[in-house]
Amino acid sequence: MKYMVRGTRNLVPMDPKMGIGLFQAAKQWMEAGLANGTHDLHYVHIEGNAGFTITNANSHEEVMDLIYDHPLYPFMDWDVTPLCEWSSGYDNTIQLFQKMAAMT
């Protein structure tokens, strides 16, 4: 299953020296996840306070474990959205509208 995982920097204080180490660890964590296929992609927002991944996992609990493992976990607010393949999503929506049209 695929998930869009978004992290936004929260208000938990971070000492600048601590931030250097945490962001270096987070970069290594992400590089490893991209290399082993845990994540398909990762982008950060240009203002630098947020980012997202497309993450592969077998369960919601696995995604939860991944988030908890992230070096910046306590310094981010997290949002997770399960995804489906776009073509089947469109097909399901078309079928829904066909059913609705048949009722009118």
pLDDT tens by residue, 36-67: 999 999 999 999 899 999 999 999 999 999 99
DSSP state letters, 53-81:
EEEE-SSHHHHHHHHHHSTTGGGEEEEEE
Domain regions of the chain by residue span? 2-103
Q: What is the mean pLDDT of residues 80-97?
A: 97
Does an H or E element contain 76, and which? strand 76-83
For the whole model, what pTM was predicted? 0.88
- What's the CATH code, domain 2-103? 3.30.70.1060
For 63-80, write each residue's pLDDT tens digit.
999 999 999 999 999 999
